[in-house]
Amino acid sequence: MTKPDIKKNKSTKTVFSESEATKIAEDLEFKSAEDILLWATTTFRQRLVLSTSFQATGMVILDMLSKISPDTRVMTLDTGRLPKATYDLIDQVQDQYDMQIEVQYPDSDNLKKIVAKHGINMFYKSYSLRLLCCEKRKLEPLSKALVDIDAWITGLTRQQGGTRTSTPKVTIDHKHNDILKINPIADWDNKMIWQYINDNKVPYNKLYDQGYTSIGCDPCTRPIEKNEDDRSGRWWWEKGMPKECGIHTFTKSK
């Protein structure tokens, strides 16, 4: 397994150069998700966090971590607009797994200002207001949570399309202080994800049983229609815009 030449900067942060990160990604490309998580948890320990919105991909990784390294930090963003089914799943995970879920919240003063100015459902008014809402409810709390972290794990997969098609297993995240971003199931497809969930009796968001294929905030997510791609139910009223909130892209609100 890859043993990186770890360098520490003044704040004891573990840092990697682009070429080191590329080499790690190449070494891990054909390793199993479990092997990648084992490498990540032994390399970064408490300076590693799984960030999950409790979608199927995140649940697969959380279940693997519970077996490999149950003291790994798990974090989620409560935007304040999540579906009830997602809150129910968070409760279920807390009960079922011996893992503490760290819940991050938006800054209430920031929310008050944008809601007063643009309305509680501003996201339906324009693309830029939708991005502003995502920025205040998701991007800002995530950025704060990743400040003292060396690496984070996500459930991104290449089959989700768009900018995710070329997701590497490991990359430097320039959006978040150049920490390492680890995507252990980047090469998984839906069949593999649901096979794992069924084989391991992993709890999942019940909205999947109602035709949802990607689950975010309640007012911005709907089930997909026949022949639509998996992320079509996100911000469904927007035409021709990236199906991203900005966490995994460099998209900026105006």
Residue numbers of the site for ligand SF4 (CB under 6 A)? 79, 81, 123, 130, 133-134, 137-138, 216-217, 219-220, 245
| Residue number with CB closer to ligand SF4 (60 or 142) | 142
Beta carbon nearer to ligand SF4, 111 or 146: 111
Closer residue to ligand SF4 (CB): 219 or 242 = 219
Q: Which of 225, 236, 245 is nearest to 163 (CA)?
A: 245
Q: Which is nearer to ligand SF4, 124 or 208 (CB)?
A: 124
Least gap, CB of 77 to ligand SF4 (angstroms):
9
Question: Which residue in the list 134, 217, 220, 245 is annotated as catalytic?
Answer: 245
Nearest-CB residue for ligand SF4: 217
For the bound state, the minimum distance from the C-beta of residue 151 to ligand SF4, rounded and expressed in Å, comes to 25
Task: Note if 217 is an active site residue.
Answer: no
Least separation in angstroms between residue 216's CB and ligand SF4 is 5
- Shortest separation between residue 111's beta carbon and ligand SF4, angstroms: 10
User: Catalytic residue numbers?
Assistant: 245
